Amino acid sequence: MGNEESFRESLRLRSDKDVSKARVLISQWAVRQEFSVIERTRAMTAVSEIARNCVVYAGGGTMYVSSLYHEGAPGFRIQIVDQGPGIPDVDQSMKRGYSTGGGLGLGMEGARNLCRAFRVESNAGAGTTITMDYWK
Amino acid sequence: MQNNIPILKLGDFLLVTIQMDVHDRTALQLQDDLTNEISKRRSKGVLIDISNLEVVDSFMGRVLSDIASMAKVLDAETVVVGMRPAVAMTLVELGLSLPSVVTALNLERGMELLTQRLGRKGNG
Amino acid sequence: MKKIMELLSGDVSGVLSKWISLQRNDESSSLSIPEDEVVSQSTDFFKLFVRAVASGKTDINDPAWDETLTMLREVAIYRGQRGLKPAETATFVLSLKEALFEVLLEKGRSKNLLEDLWSVTVCVDKLGLFVMSIFIEKREDVIERQQEELLEVSTPVVELWDGVLALPVIGTLDSSRAQVVMEGLLDAIVQFEAKIAIIDITGVPAVDTQTAQHLLKTVTAAELMGAECYISGVRPQIAQTIVQLGLDLGGMQTKGSLMSAFQQSLNRLGLSIQKIDNKG
């Protein structure tokens, strides 16, 4: 009774096709956990931003999704890990308009606005891990 | 590889219906195809139906803006129709308001709007 | 447990009538359910209880207890729906303990009396906890549903004219409510194929930074969907706070009253209201 097994999935991110797959995977998680349409859309959009950054700027990486409980509310944790050059100045990268590529520079800050909790761990030269939590 | 997004001719307009999920490359391909098509057919209006699209992120937002701006340079008006409520909310939270893009609630409204805008332009 | 079983099988009807009378005499009981319901519920439950005890399993999570727990669940829900107090529902199970004790004391007189009393206590207490957890669970469901209903009821979207929607917001717009309000309005725009949506804030006591941001978000989202959006009912005090807080409402079209917003909407749709000339 009430003994839900914690569940974990992973996905390799190498190209724009994988960014699509990442969106679909998160959509499935959100549907399974009966998230509202708007919450599902937020999660899919945030993942799309971060997964693309990973492919474009870090040459690829891996996405992990696992279930979580936040004060009793069910949800999931998305982690996107790469071995790329890292983000030299995390604070700077969170500012609106910051961009190292051709984007609108909304990726990181935008994604942060779209999730319940957002964390960046990055060391120059040692890759980046971005964690995004969602719960109902 | 995803198939290219088909561009249909609808009277004087071009109609593009974007399906549920689009790879980045497919979206960029659409940009190419559409500008070519506008130029070839001398189209005055473009309708982009995104009612099936579940996610518009900053990349897709930029593609839509760029298409509208490019079409403008080629003397065509673009109307993006059918944006879902959840997509609109998410775009705003993402910090995007797509100022250069004209929107309408559905295809029918989009047609009305295009006709109206082009009529005004023709008279003026 | 075996021992209890032996005792029970000897005098099933005796324990049952003892239990029913204990329930009846309970002081806390307001007994808002009919007498015959009490008797039939107690009789049905007692049969299942005796059967479960007969299985020799003391753990109520054992499948042998499934039927008993299902019945108990129904009893808890039944009583909860009729507005019985938690104590009254708990008494249903806990008074069984007393009835069983009396039988043990009268007939038992065994060396293991203490042990027997203990096993009865443990078992009935577990059932008591179970019944309380069901009771609380149901209460929480009710509270949650009421909260949701309250949120929905307080933010109706009304159609003022073909293609013109109004959302009269009454009360403070905190984050969770703003979310519901915004989603409701955007969905209604699709549903009614609205060209114009008016958010009337006459009933909003104060506008702070957060409320203003929520309004701005809704307006921008509605525009992205292809609808125009006006904010009406901006009272002088609110206009002052907005300016004093330095809030940027640049993207919004504001109107003093719902009436002027409606007039503006009709204008946009190429419509006007005329006085009927009766003299003609």
**C175-192 and C113-153 helices, crossing angle to 10°:** 50
Please name which of A16, A61, A46 lies closest in space to residue B29, comparing C-alpha atoms: A16
Nearest C-alpha of chain B: how many angstroms from C217?
Answer: 6
Over residues C149-181, the pLDDT tens digits come to: 776 666 789 999 999 999 998 887 777 788 888
The domain defined by A8-135 folds into: Heat Shock Protein 90 (3.30.565)
The whole-number pLDDT of residue C21 equals 83
Tokens of C181: 């309000």
Chain B residues whose beta carbon lies within 8 Å of the beta carbon of residue A19: 23-24
Residues forming CATH 3.30.750.24 domain(s) in chain C: 158-268
Chain A residues whose beta carbon lies within 8 Å of the beta carbon of residue B25: 16
Q: Give the helix ranges, DSSP H, for B12-77.
A: 24-41, 58-73
Please name which of C225, C219, C152 lies closest in space to residue C189, comparing C-alpha atoms: C225
Q: Which residue would you say has higher pLDDT here, C221 or C51?
A: C221
pLDDT at A1 exceeding the cut of 50: no
pLDDT at C109 exceeding the cut of 70: no
Which ranges of chain B have pLDDT less than 70? 1-2, 121-124
**Radius of gyration from C-alpha coordinates of chain B:** 14
Q: Which residue would you say has higher pLDDT here, C232 or A97?
A: C232
Name the pLDDT band for A104 (thresholds 50, 70, 90). very low
Q: Which residue would you say has higher pLDDT here, C18 or B49?
A: B49
Q: Give me the mean pLDDT over the C217-244 stretch.
A: 90
Nearest C-alpha of chain A: how many angstroms from C141?
Answer: 15
Alpha carbons C3 and B88: distance in angstroms, whole number: 70
B89 with C221: Cβ contact below 8 A: yes
Is B24 an interface residue toward A (CB < 8 Å)? yes
Nearest C-alpha of chain A: how many angstroms from B113?
Answer: 28
Q: Give me the mean pLDDT over the C225-236 stretch.
A: 93
> Given phi > 0 = left and psi -120 to 50 = alpha, else beta, which region is C175?
alpha
Please name which of C204, C198, C206 lies closest in space to residue C242, comparing C-alpha atoms: C206
The whole-number pLDDT of residue C110 equals 61
C166: three-class secondary structure by DSSP: strand
For chain B, which chains pass the contact test of at least 3 CB pairs under 8 Å?
A, C
Given the candidates 3.10.20.740, 1.10.490.130, 3.40.605.10, 3.40.640.10, the CATH classification of the domain at C2-147 is 1.10.490.130
Rounded mean pLDDT of chain C? 83
User: What is the β-pairing status of strands A117-122 and A8-13?
Assistant: unpaired
Domain boundaries, chain A: 8-135
Superfamily covering domain C158-268: STAS domain (3.30.750.24)
Over residues A8-67, the pLDDT tens digits come to: 899 999 999 999 999 999 999 999 999 999 999 999 999 999 999 999 988 999 999 999
Instruction: Kindly provide the residue ranges of all beta strands, DSSP E only, lying in B1-124, ordered along the sequence.
Output: 7-10, 13-17, 45-49, 77-81, 102-104
pLDDT at C148 exceeding the cut of 80: no
Tokens of A72: 């009793």
The whole-number pLDDT of residue C10 equals 64
Residue written as tokens 């969770």? C176
Contacts of B84 (CB under 8 A, 6+ apart): A41, B51, B53, B54, C190
Nearest by CB to B90, from A27, A41, A52: name it. Answer: A41
Over residues B22-40, the pLDDT tens digits come to: 999 999 999 999 999 999 9
Given the candidates 3.30.750.24, 3.40.50.150, 3.40.50.1100, 3.40.50.2000, the CATH classification of the domain at B7-123 is 3.30.750.24
A vs C: CB pairs below 8 A: 4
Is C190 an interface residue toward B (CB < 8 Å)? yes
pLDDT at C28 exceeding the cut of 60: no
pLDDT at C210 exceeding the cut of 90: no
Name the pLDDT band for C246 (thresholds 50, 70, 90). confident
Domain boundaries, chain B: 7-123
Q: Which residue would you say has higher pLDDT here, A109 or C257?
A: C257
The whole-number pLDDT of residue A122 equals 84
Angle in degrees, CA B87, C171, C232, rounded to 5: 65
